[in-house]
């Protein structure tokens, strides 16, 4: 059977989506100097949702929302709490305290965290190869976190690092719990509903906890960066990602996920002039290598199982 040719523009498109996600780390680090993480998270989700809504309307997909089973509709909204509201607050809180490069590497561990969560909630087999990958990855996390050494005087913001790791955990939970909903429905519609719920919750929390004064006082550059971040990181990247998933095998698309923290480190170095000791780069390589190994082991397991298939969120 002749395979359908893959348009060449798919690869530049998915590369752009990956770069936009990576750009969120240094830009987020800049923006939280002027506004609170809650405020940035709420603006990011609101802008991203509005761009997604416009895309769904242009693509004629809005009516499909009203055809979702009530259980999946409510489930999609509930996913927005952990996958977007909590994640946005945690990752932007981390960026207020630690370098963008460090946040990018620590958040990338969400792919590793999916393995034990899938075993717990979805009863998937827990292979020894992935267990080794998890232990190795968190060895890399220690190197990234303590890249300045273990001296008493070394400046290490452990709270910021914990924010990053809990952000990774929240997105891993979102991925695992959303698997069944995404498998039954258009993943972009599920994502849009989750972002909507996250935007509403985070905006309410921002108004109640922080207020609007600091947001209203933000200068035009800060507002431009916030709008740019929401429009690109959410509004452009998600439709692009899911469109590419329809044209490429998920295993091939997932390679670009590994590039996100790499691009984030490069962009943070260029934009923020971030520099680290050699321990950071060794740790980053260990984390990303473990993530890749875990994903390969996961694909081998699915390939060996009857009817196994790769699933991406």
- pLDDT digit string (tens) for 111-148? 888 878 888 888 777 777 777 877 888 888 888 888 76
Instruction: Please give the structure tokens belonging to residue 194.
Output: 């989750």
Query: Does 269 fall in a domain?
Result: yes
Q: Is 192 helix (H, G, I), strand (E, B) or coil?
A: helix
Number of C-beta neighbours around residue 284 at 10 A:
25
What is the domain extent for residue 29?
10-123+158-276
Query: Does 130 fall in a domain?
Result: no
Is it the case that residue 311 has pLDDT exceeding 70? no
Chain segment 240-289, per-residue pLDDT in tens: 988 887 777 666 676 777 788 889 999 999 999 998 888 889 988 988 88
C-alpha triplet 23, 24, 26: angle, nearest 5°? 70
Query: Does 36 fall in a domain?
Result: yes
Non-local (6+) Cβ contacts of 139 within 8 A are: 283, 286
Query: Does 136 fall in a domain?
Result: no
Task: Give the residue among 231, 242, 228, 226 at the shortest CA–CA distance from 191.
Answer: 242
Query: Does 243 fall in a domain?
Result: yes
> What's the structural domain count of the chain?
1
Query: Does 26 fall in a domain?
Result: yes
Chain segment 150-162, per-residue pLDDT in tens: 544 457 788 999 9
Query: Does 67 fall in a domain?
Result: yes
Reported pTM: 0.86
CA dihedral defined by 293, 295, 299, 300, rounded to 10 degrees? 20
Query: Does 223 fall in a domain?
Result: yes
């Amino acid at each position: 059977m002749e395979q359908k040719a893959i348009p060449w523009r798919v690869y530049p498109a998915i590369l752009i989506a990956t770069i936009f996600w990576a750009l969120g780390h240094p830009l987020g680090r800049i923006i939280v100097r002027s506004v609170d993480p809650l405020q940035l998270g709420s603006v990011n989700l609101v802008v991203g949702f509005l761009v997604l809504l416009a895309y769904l309307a242009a693509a004629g997909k809005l009516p499909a929302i009203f055809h979702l089973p009530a259980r999946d509709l409510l489930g999609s909204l509930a996913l927005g709490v952990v996958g977007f509201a909590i994640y946005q607050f945690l990752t932007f809180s981390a960026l207020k305290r630690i370098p963008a490069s460090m946040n990018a590497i620590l958040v990338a561990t969400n792919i590793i965290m999916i393995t034990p969560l899938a075993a717990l909630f979805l009863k998937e087999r827990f292979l020894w190869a992935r267990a080794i990958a998890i232990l190795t990855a968190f060895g890399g996390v220690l190197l990234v976190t303590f890249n300045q050494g273990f001296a008493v005087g070394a400046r290490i913001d452990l709270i910021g690092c914990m924010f990053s790791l809990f952000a990774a955990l929240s997105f891993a939970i979102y991925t695992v719990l959303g698997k069944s909903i995404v498998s039954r429905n258009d993943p972009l519609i599920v994502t849009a509903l989750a972002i909507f719920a996250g935007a509403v919750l985070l905006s309410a929390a921002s108004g109640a906890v922080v207020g609007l004064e600091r947001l209203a006082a933000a200068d035009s550059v800060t507002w431009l960066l916030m709008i740019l971040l929401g429009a690109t990181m959410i509004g452009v990247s998600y439709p692009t990602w899911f469109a590419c998933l329809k044209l490429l095998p998920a295993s091939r698309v997932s390679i670009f996920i590994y590039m996100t923290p790499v691009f984030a480190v490069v962009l943070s170095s260029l934009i923020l002039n971030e520099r680290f000791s050699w321990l950071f780069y060794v740790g980053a390589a260990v984390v990303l290598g473990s993530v890749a190994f875990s994903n390969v082991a996961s694909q081998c397991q699915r390939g060996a199982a009857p009817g196994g298939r790769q699933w991406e969120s």
